[in-house]
């Protein structure tokens, strides 16, 4: 008989931390792979592109399967595949086999973000902003923990062994999600749901993917930026990357709290307007302490985006298809994530990492404009929302 927990936030948050570790484990070890296999910046970007492209393809598929066969079962399968892929890396030195295992792991990683937010949205009626804030903070906290532990042990243990040890934790998570059933919990989905006209969703997803294009271009190459441009060690690069997600813990809690009191699009637009100068200043030769503070601020704005966007997207779809809607968003987002490292790696090979970082500002400016347009037109009444009564 499956367990029926009263408070699914705890297990889902633990799962989020684990899933996000392996979403960003590959960028963290990218300098090591680049050296081991003598990759160029372009090839390094293409490796990230391959990994995230698999996640993109399967995000929509697993979101749809979760709506149809049970979100918990698909998440459980995802943890098993992620754990299997990264555990087996310890036994291979062939680049071809590493690609295959990374592809298997990527399928597993793809399941979580399409299905976990709809589970939380269905379970909790009130204070959804802070619920999503805690959920996102848990993901960032997992990444911070992994990055700082990685920095401490990378000189003592080979990176494949680190991958093996972390990946083992996916097996009990797969078991707990398989044995857990949230479907019998009291439904908290409102009888009337807000459903936005298609062009509003299209504009939202366009702005979101442009934001992702810019932010992932920065986040993915921060370790390389620290090592190759600032001439610091791989351990220091791990710590500096961790600053982004340490800021994300704070940012997600703040924006989650604010989302219960303010319009989600207002918060999203404000975050983008703050992050633009922060990224620009990072590209200059600044004192190390100021670079640290700027990376922390980038983290607040980057991860702080997700609680308000989860709330907005929850409002845009009925609960029976939320896995599919979140899956569509994740597929589009991750498709751009797959492209971004290759694009900015190409730019870095020709003009350097500093210039490639500055190019990330262009999609971020367009995204800010689109989010502001959606918000301002909504205030003026030009975007009319339809309330669909549930029969």
Q: Which residue has the tokens 């959606």?
A: 374
Domain span at residue 339?
9-389
Q: Say how many domains are in the chain.
A: 1
Over residues 191-221, the pLDDT tens digits come to 434 456 778 888 899 999 999 888 987 887 7
- The dihedral of CA 82, 84, 89, 95: what is its sign? negative
DSSP β-bridge partners for residue 180: 3
pLDDT at 366: 95
Q: Smallest Cα–Cα separation from 304: which of 352, 269, 347?
A: 269
- Tens of pLDDT, residue by residue, the chain (391 residues): 455 555 678 889 899 988 988 887 887 777 787 787 777 777 777 787 788 788 888 888 888 788 778 888 899 999 999 999 888 888 777 777 888 888 999 999 999 988 888 888 777 777 788 888 998 888 888 877 877 777 777 777 887 888 888 888 888 999 988 887 665 444 444 443 445 677 888 889 999 999 988 898 788 778 777 777 777 776 677 677 778 888 988 999 999 999 888 889 999 999 999 999 999 998 887 788 888 899 999 999 999 999 999 888 877 766 666 777 787 878 888 788 777 777 877 887 888 778 888 888 999 999 999 999 988 876 544 444 443 333 3
DSSP string computed for 31-93: HHHHHHTT--HHHHHHHHHHHHHHHHHHHHHHHHHHHHH-HHHHHHHHHHHHHHHHHHGGG--
Strands annotated E in the chain? 192-195, 386-389
Distance CA 336, CA 334 (A): 5
Note whether residue 272 is domain-resident: yes
Residue 381 confidence (pLDDT): 47
Mean pLDDT of the residues in the chain? 80
The 10s digit of each residue's pLDDT in 288-338 is 888 889 999 999 999 999 999 988 887 776 666 677 778 787 888 878 877
Residue 1 in domain? no
The DSSP 8-state label assigned to residue 180 in this structure reads: B
Residue (of 63, 132, 70, 110) closest to 321 by Cα position: 63
Is the pTM higher than 0.85? no
Question: With contact defined as beta carbons under 8 Å apart, do 171 and 77 qualify?
Answer: no
Residue indicated by tokens 């078991």: 175
> Which DSSP helix (H) or strand (E) runs through 20?
helix 9-23
Domain-located, residue 4: no
CATH of residue 134's domain is 1.20.1250.20
């Amino acid at each position: 008989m499956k367990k029926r927990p009263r408070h699914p936030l705890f297990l889902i948050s633990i799962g989020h931390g684990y899933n996000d570790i392996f979403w960003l484990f590959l960028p963290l070890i990218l300098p090591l792979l680049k050296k081991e296999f003598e990759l160029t910046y372009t090839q390094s970007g293409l490796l990230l592109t391959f990994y995230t492209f698999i996640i993109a393809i399967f995000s929509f598929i697993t979101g749809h399967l979760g709506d149809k066969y049970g979100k918990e079962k698909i998440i459980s399968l995802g943890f098993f595949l992620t754990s299997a892929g990264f555990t087996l890396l310890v036994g291979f030195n062939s680049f071809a086999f590493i690609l295959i295992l990374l592809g298997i792991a990527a399928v597993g990683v793809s399941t979580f973000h399409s299905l976990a937010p709809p589970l939380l949205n269905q379970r909790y009626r009130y204070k959804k902003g802070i619920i999503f804030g805690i959920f996102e903070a848990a993901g960032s906290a997992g990444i911070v923990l992994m990055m700082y532990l990685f920095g401490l042990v990378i000189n003592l243990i080979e990176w494949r062994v680190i991958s093996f040890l972390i990946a083992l934790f996916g097996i009990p998570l797969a078991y707990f999600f398989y044995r857990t059933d949230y479907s019998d919990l009291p439904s908290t989905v409102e009888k009337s749901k807000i459903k936005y006209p298609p062009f509003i969703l299209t504009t939202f997803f366009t702005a979101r993917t442009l934001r992702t294009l810019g932010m992932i271009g920065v986040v993915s190459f921060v370790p390389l930026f620290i090592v190759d441009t600032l001439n610091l060690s791989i351990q220091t690069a791990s710590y500096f990357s961790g600053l982004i997600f340490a800021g994300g813990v704070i940012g997600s809690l703040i924006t989650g709290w604010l989302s219960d009191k303010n319009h989600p699009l207002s918060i999203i637009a404000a975050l983008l307007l703050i992050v633009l100068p922060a990224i620009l200043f990072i590209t200059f030769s600044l004192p190390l302490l100021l670079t640290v503070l700027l990376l922390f601020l980038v983290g607040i704005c980057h991860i702080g985006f997700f609680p308000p966007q989860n709330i907005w997207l929850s409002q845009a779809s009925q609960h029976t298809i939320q896995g599919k809607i979140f899956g569509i968003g994740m597929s589009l987002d991750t498709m751009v994530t797959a492209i971004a490292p290759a694009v900015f790696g190409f730019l870095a090979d020709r003009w350097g990492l500093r210039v490639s970082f500055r190019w990330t500002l262009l999609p971020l400016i367009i995204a800010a404009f689109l989010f502001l347009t959606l918000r301002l037109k909504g205030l003026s009444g030009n975007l009319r929302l339809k309330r669909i009564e549930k029969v």
